[in-house]
Amino acid sequence: MPDSSTSDNKKRQNLFIVLTGIFLTNAILAEMIGVKIFSGEKALGLAPANLQLLDGFVLDFNLTAGAVIWPIVFLSTDIINEYFGKKGVQKISFLAAGFIAYAFLIIYIITLLPPAQFWLDVNGTDPAGNVFNVDYAFRLIFRQGLGIIVGSLIAFLIGQLLDVFVFQRLRKITGSKMIWLRATGSTLVSQLIDSFVVLFIAFYFLAPEGSRWSIPQVTSVGIINYIYKFSVAIMLTPLIYVGHYLIDRYLGKDLAEQMTEEAANE
């Protein structure tokens, strides 16, 4: 019959595998679908906001589709931080960055393959009968610009490392109490930086001269993105407690307390 230490180690491993799977799946998916921009107002059945921001720039709540599932990455990051500490978060963050880079590389290579003629012929019209180049559409959707890829990876790593730093700082202040403060607080700080880093790299520093955004435009879009992330982070707070409750039940009180204490003392 297995001893308690063997059982505890198995539970640790299983929990880390599940949380890592959730984190990696959503991080990679968010990058893949991020090329689509959708209207937040239309999704809610509202009229465009037409916000007058910096330098008279008018902006609506148009968001990247990746923002829909990115909050799950925030949530899983904080839970991993709670039970596995900063080393656990750093490990999966660098792992995710490598997988994302690999995914973009494979997708780029696939877009270079010559299309089969029957694929072009069969799929070259939409339901309304409008002709389009399916291979061009495929490349346009899946082949994101270098600036977006570089900016996204840098922003991702900065956001993750900043999140774990703020989380641990707040944890030293709050101890085992006020889970909502360290989880939500770390997300709000890290995503403030993330929201602007990716835009400045992708659409200002590395963008071609003719398509470069102005600083007011970059700043305005960054503000809109952060408003969304800020709002979602607040709304997700109850889920943090649900996650802790389920994990503590799975681990057992003693093991859960041991893991959180070890994570806090890293």
User: pLDDT for 29-40, tens place per residue?
Assistant: 888 887 787 888
Which amino acid is located at 57 in the chain? F
Predicted pLDDT at 146 = 61
Which residue ranges in the chain fall short of pLDDT 50?
1
Cα–Cα distance for residue pair 221/62, rounded to 1 Å: 9
Q: Are 236 and 75 in contact, with CB atoms under 8 Å apart?
A: yes
Closest CA to 156 of 191, 180, 121, 184: 191
- Report pTM: 0.84
By CB neighbour count within 10 A (0-12 exposed, 13-18 middle, 19+ buried), where does 45 fall? Answer: exposed
Rounded Cα distance between 71 and 113, Å, is 34
Best CA proximity match to 220, nearest among 49, 69, 73, 67 = 49
